[in-house]
A and B are shown apart, each in its own frame.
Chain A
Amino acid sequence: MSTEGDVLSQQRQPRIRWVVVPREQVPGWLPALISFGAVIVALLIGAVILALAGGNPWVVYTQIARSSFGSLGVFSDTMVKAIPLILVGLACAVAFRMRVWNIGAEGQFYLGAWGASAIVLGLLPMVPSLSSPWLIIPLMMVAGMLAGALWGGIPGFLKARFGVNEIISTLMLNYIAVFWNNFFIFAIWNENGFPQSPAFPRFAWLPRLTDYAREFRVLGGLTTHLGLVFALVAAVLVWMLLKYSRWGYEIRLIGDNPRAAEYAGVPIKRYTVLVMMISGALAGLAGMSEISGVVHRLQGSISPGYGFTGIIVAWLAKLNPFAIILVSILFGALILAGREIQPSGIPRLIQGIVLVCLIASDFLLRYRVRLQFGSKEA
């Protein structure tokens, strides 16, 4: 075993090497640049795939842009798609900031829709005096948020009390939520055998821009609804919570180092449940606003995967509430454009590639990569 005297001879030094070095400080503009870069790279990759599949990427991309931003009408449609994305994005951002991985925003969305429907289809017939938008809409909001909060609180409690992995519990609860809604749609609130509930009465609809077309001609046909206000207000509130409030500080602390947070006296278990409930409430509000602002009834398919897209939105926006608004508009555009090009193929493809590029690019936030030439100093 002894190799005394038999020593490795000098090997050839490589001329050029990649050097990876941890960053000491993250410049403020870097996360935005990286996110932007990830989208560009994703679009390029998508373009390559499109070209390989025989399509023309430039045509596809300009068509996407045109069908989402080309006119006031389609821009309004884009915004309609963006509203639930903003709310779900905020929901995910709040949870992710504490490193609680809420993958159940989709289910919380469905529960929120159910909550709102329960007010209209369940409570309203019993209490007809509620037939005023000023009464019924706030009630629907509260019910939607409570139902979503419950659906988020369950996995939160399971994690705090039993250490159940929230990724799995929230994911599974999505399925239960969909089937819960289906039960009500098919059995309890069914309309003549069609897979949907009766339409909501007019006063239970969220006001839309087009409702004021008589006063302002230009608003005709614009379906952007009050949910946009909910989304923007929520973004401001979440921003204030995370940046200025003591809970925001505690959430950040838990997210960075739970053991230090525990040492500092922050009650982590309580926060786990609370944050999951807030997250669920926001997603539930998204569900309520989609039901009450767009389809005006409870039906089986109310979400083209908003709950999951919201996760990508939150990451792309680096958990910043205002960036979430911008990114949601971008993704809303993609979803809308999918209607025109190919419903489930290309937009989903781009979304997926963006997510992969994002996760990979996160590495650049924490490390600097340089080329090093030669390894001997002058």
Chain B
Amino acid sequence: MSESDNVISMRGIVKRFPGVLASDHVDFELRRGEIHALLGENGAGKSTLMNILAGLYRADAGTIEVYGKPVTFNSPRDAINAGIGMIHQHFMLVPSQTVTENILLGLDTPRFRLRLSKYDAIVAELSARFGMQVDPQARIWQLSVGEQQRVEILKMLYRGADILVMDEPTAVLAPQEIEGLFTTLRSMTAQGKSIIFISHKLQEVTEIADRVTVLRRGKVTAGGLPTAGHTTADLARLMVGRDVLFQLEKPPANPGPVVLSIDSLEAVNDRGLPALRGLSLQVRAGEIVGLAGVAGNGQRELAEVIAGLRPATGGQVRLGNDVISNQPTRAAIRKGLAYVPEDRTKVGSAPSLSITDNLIMKHYDRQPVGKGWRVDSVAAELFASELKEAYSIQTPSLRTHARVLSGGNLQRMILAREIATDPQCMLAMQPTQGLDVGAIETVHRLLLEQRAAGVAVLLISEELEELLSLSDRICVIYEGKIVGEVTDHDVDRLGQLMTGSLGTTTEAA
């Protein structure tokens, strides 16, 4: 392949942040009309590299060429003017405005908002050309997540982007919607667009990408590798540098008595709309029950009600024989509930406090750390250092602020803290979100250890692979109710339940 086929050529990119070399002389090339995946663990440097390409960061060294011409981007606007459009994982759309209005946001024409219908037509034509059905006059809040993503793509196409960078685009989609996205991507490349696809999902990378570049610790371990002829195991090895166990050892289930029982639970969400509509579920000691579902079907509200952070408007949650719903949060903690929240930084930790302070968050009021009115700082340090050793939390010292920890370390810290409470029941919500393969493996191992120790584990996750490999049984939540249970790894049925295609609402045992 000759150089002139490259629409993007990045050479020798170096980017330093304090304490870390995020990009270490990275080379990256994108050919016209291809889907090129960028694979790597968290912290490998893929977001950094793409942020440089999209004009959000400036490289410390190295060159970028677009269509063979050297460029320097001082801001995202320069990148867009060069035809590079980035679609971020978190959408930047205004919910109350229409699709067309969002697409036109920030542009110089139209000067005044007249004759929107003209632009509606342009948007409609654009969306038809690439096979992305979307109603230009629909308001964003009315659209599904998959449709919102299409709006983001259209935004970039409207601005004349020929090169699209997609950051973890499938993170928010249901299985059916992912197929739709892939069809769209293929249609775009057929019309001459080139796509960079950032992902950590090996299965998808092998399915959709033509070539893949793998980053590890800021260095390229495989540049522009054709995906045909490589297995996910090969790619994982390139990502991590060692063989990664995909299927952890899982001894057969031996569930004990029911520990967590949820009966006809009802609750409203932050906007006052019903989020849980009579949800019933039971988890036994020594089993992992997975809860599958597309985001926004009541998972967050369920976790909050169980943890005592949200009131229930009907039904109840019991831990053993004790009711823990509608009780102060501390009651659930005292009765043996451990909760690993979805948001590590906003809920699960105190960013400006020390690691020690974070680790004693559930222990400061009991021996040996808490003694009466005092917090024994010596005992606290000892407690914290024991946990640090046992869970291999990488940190320069126990006194560093928690915000410095990487995602994987933070999650290890949170798990260490929760497991140290010796719980009866563990509630884990999206525990591996944003973590690299190594950290994911650790989290999964810890959850399985809890299961073996007789803890009842409720795992709420959007990663089907994770649910399939860890759960003894998977219940599906849809619109605030359990609509079915799957024990035989039937992915199709799971997908149908998750998108509400199966109308029955068989209650889980």
Selected contact of A245 from candidates B72, B346, B375, CB within 8 Å: B375
Interface membership of chain B positions 324-360, coded 1 if the CB is closer than 8 angstroms to chain A and 0 otherwise: 0000111001000001010000111111110001001
A245-B375, A257-B349, A265-B330 known; A3-B160 Cβ under 8 A? yes
A253 contacts B350, CB within 8 Å? yes
Please tell me if the beta carbons of A256 and B365 are within 8 angstroms of each other in the complex.
no
* Stretch in A5-13, A58-66, A300-308 with 4+ CB within 8 Å of B: A5-13
Chain B contact residues, majority secondary structure: loop
Residue of B nearest to A240 (CB): B374
Q: Is the CB of A257 within 8 A of B58?
A: no
- A25 on the interface (CB 8 Å rule)? yes
Residue from B58, B69, B78 in contact with A375 in the complex, judged by beta carbons closer than 8 Å: B58
A270 to B: closest C-beta gap in Å: 10
Query: Given that A7-B66, A249-B375, A377-B60 are contacting pairs, would A260 and B362 also be in contact in the complex, using a CB cutoff of 8 Å?
Result: no
B74 within 8 A of A: yes
B307 to chain A, nearest CB (A): 7
Q: Considering the complex, which residues of chain B in the window 392-408 have a beta carbon less than 8 Å from any beta carbon of chain A?
A: 396, 399-401, 404
B367 at the interface (CB under 8 A from A): no
- B203 close to chain A: CB less than 8 A: no
Task: Tell whether, in the assembled complex, residue A8 and residue B361 are in contact, meaning their CB atoms are under 8 Å apart.
Answer: no
**Partner of A256 from B328, B350, B374, B377 at Cβ < 8 Å:** B350
Which single member of B61, B78, B329, B364 contacts A262 (CB below 8 Å)? B329
Cβ-based interface call for A360 (8 A): no
A21 within 8 A of B: yes
Distance in angstroms from A378 CB to nearest chain B CB is: 9
Q: Cβ of B14 < 8 Å from any Cβ of A?
A: yes
A267 CB–B CB distance under 8 Å: yes
Q: Which of B162, B328, B373, B375 contacts A267 (CB 8 A)?
A: B328
- The answer for the CA separation of A9 and B81 in the assembled complex, in Å, is 11
Q: Counting CB contacts under 8 A, is A264 at the interface? A: yes
Q: Is B158 an interface residue (CB 8 A)?
A: yes
On whether the beta carbons of A249 and B346 are closer than 8 Å, the reply is no
For residue B478, CB closer than 8 A to chain A, the reply is: no
Chain A residue nearest to B362 in the complex (CB) = A264
- The residues of B that contact A10 with a CB separation of less than 8 Å are 70-72
Q: Check if B71 sits within 8 Å of A7, measured CB to CB.
A: yes
Q: List the B side residues contacting A253 at CB < 8 Å.
A: 350, 353, 357, 361
Smallest CB-CB separation from B162: which chain A residue?
Answer: A4
CB closest chain-B residue, reference A5: B67
* Partner of B160 from A1, A249, A257 at Cβ < 8 Å: A1
- In the assembled complex, B229 has its CB within 8 A of some CB on chain A: no
Residues of B within 8 A of A2 (CB): 83, 160, 162
- Could you tell me the distance between the alpha carbons of A375 and B63 in the complex, rounded to whole angstroms? 12
Select one of A245, A256, A260, A267 contacting B330, CB under 8 A: A267
- Does B73 make an interface contact (CB < 8 A)? yes
Contact at B375–A246, with CB atoms within 8 Å?
Answer: yes
A263 x B404 contact (CB < 8 A): no
Q: Which of B350, B396, B400 is within 8 Å of A257, CB to CB?
A: B350
B82, CB-defined interface residue at 8 Å? yes
Say if the beta carbon of A259 comes within 8 Å of chain B.
yes
> Which residue, of B162, B330, B361, B396, has the highest number of chain A Cβ atoms within 10 A?
B361
CA distance A2 to B73 in the complex (A): 18
A252 interface contact, C-beta 8 A = yes
B58 proximity list for chain A (CB < 8 A): 375
Give 6 pairs: A residue, B residue, CB < 8 Å, sorted on A: A1-B158, A6-B81, A24-B19, A257-B347, A376-B61, A377-B60
Name A residues whose Cβ lies closer than 8 Å to a Cβ of B: 1-11, 13, 21-22, 24-26, 244-250, 252-253, 256-257, 259-267, 368, 375-377
Among all A-B residue pairs, the 4 with the closest Cβ atoms: A265-B330, A2-B160, A377-B61, A256-B350
Q: A7-B81, A24-B404, A246-B374 are in contact. List 13 more A-B contacts (CB 8 A).
A: A2-B162, A6-B81, A9-B69, A21-B18, A24-B19, A24-B400, A25-B399, A252-B353, A253-B350, A260-B349, A262-B309, A376-B61, A377-B14
